[in-house]
Structure formats: C-alpha cells, structure tokens
Amino acid sequence: MQSNSSMRTPLGRVRGLGSAKSGTGHFWLQRVTAVANVVLTVIFLGIVISLFGKPYPAAMATLSHPLVAILMLLFVLSGVVHMRIGMQVVIEDYIHGEGLKIAAVMANTFFAIAIGAACVFAVLKLSFGG
C-alpha cells in the first residue's frame, strides 16, 4: 500500500509545479528591481540635478560619458521590468475574465517593451552624440 502524504494535487504532481507556478520568481525579481530602483533613482536624480542650468553641449558631454549611459540604461531597464511585473500582479488580482486577463497581460508586456525600447534608443542616441 502506497502512502500519499504529499500536499500537491494530482495535476500538480504530474506537472511538477506548486499552486503558485512561477510566483516566487516574480516575487524576488520585483523585490530586487525595487532595491535597484532606489539606488538608480538616486543616481538618476543626481545626474539630472547636476545638469540643471548647464548649456546643451555640457549636458550632451555628461550624457555621452559611457558610465553615465550605462547607469541610465540600468535605470530604464530596471524600472521597466519592475513596472511590468507590478502591473501584471494588479491585472492578475483584479481582472477575473480569463480572456481579458490574458489580453491585458499581453498588452502590459508589449507596452513595457515599447517604453523600454524607446528609452534605450534615446539613451543610446544621446550617448553616441546624436
């Protein structure tokens, strides 16, 4: 006689997934990006404040520095990932129709990609002297 002391459902045992599926990965990624956003926002604000009142060529010189460009790209990417995950949680919690939920999650992902791509393009254009 086999003892079934597992708390998993039969479907969960077959798939090898718990009830949360990939929830812990999203949970930790959202926390990591939140911490990164705090640090990168302080750096971003420091750069913006340092550029206040400077002429355009001086601002371009600052923004074209590789370290500044990398920090700006990290700020954008971390912010976009954090935004997408946070909005996905809201969508999954408050939209109950399965079809609408899938469409909203897809739209959220496409929106995050579009915003991220536009920001990355802008930073790269500035960093390469455009």
Q: What is the pLDDT of residue 2?
A: 56
pLDDT value of residue 129 = 80
Q: What is the pLDDT of residues 37-82, one digit of tens each?
A: 999 999 999 999 999 999 989 989 999 999 999 999 999 999 999 9
Structural tokens at position 11: 């479907």
pLDDT at site 104: 97
What are the percentages of helix, strand and coil residues in the chain, rounded to 5? 80, 0, 20
Give the predicted TM-score (pTM) of the model. 0.78
- Set out the domains of the chain in order of their start, with CATH numbers: 23-127 (1.20.1300.10)
Per-residue pLDDT reduced to its tens digit, 82-125: 999 999 999 999 999 999 999 999 999 999 999 999 999 999 99
pLDDT of residue 37: 97
Vertex 129 angle, CA 126 and 130, to 5°: 70
- Separation between Cα atoms, residue 2 and residue 25, nearest integer Å: 33
pLDDT tens digits for range 28-49? 999 999 999 999 999 999 999 9
| Terminal-residue alpha carbon distance, the chain | 73
Q: Three-class SS of residue 32?
A: helix
